[in-house]
Amino acid sequence: MDQITKEKIEYVIDKFNFERVHVVMQTLEWRWVNLPDCKTLSVPNIIRLKTSARDLMSRAYSELMKQTDQNEYICGSGGLEAICWADTENIGEFGFTLKFVLTEYTSEDYVSDED
């Protein structure tokens, strides 16, 4: 991973509102497995949230680099979702999106009553 890509990841980490995510997770008692023992659960602190977000963005970038027919790759865990996307206007450039997903639904499985 080149320096500019690392800087883009750090830019997202700096701008993302981890404090808000932490408040939501505390309110909902949204717990992650504690490492390294994997036997207990707790709401992750902000440092762990940032570390996880950084890892997800790095993984999304690495996986996108392996693809030849895609212009984005999504990695998610524990409510965090990282997207690495190819900049279609500047070939060879990549960007990142980081989300905290509380709920989501798709109409992909919709079947019309008219069929």
**Mean pLDDT of successive 10-residue segments in the chain (115 residues)?**
93 98 97 89 96 98 89 96 88 91 90 75
Is residue 22 in a domain? yes
Closest by CA to 75, choosing from 90, 52, 56, is 56
Query: Would you state the pLDDT for residue 115?
Result: 56
* Domain total in the chain: 1
Is residue 106 in a domain? no
Is residue 110 in a domain? no
Burial of 94: CB neighbours in 10 Å, binned 0-12, 13-18, 19+? buried
Is residue 74 in a domain? yes
Is residue 71 in a domain? yes
Is residue 115 in a domain? no
Domain of 11?
3-100
Is residue 27 in a domain? yes
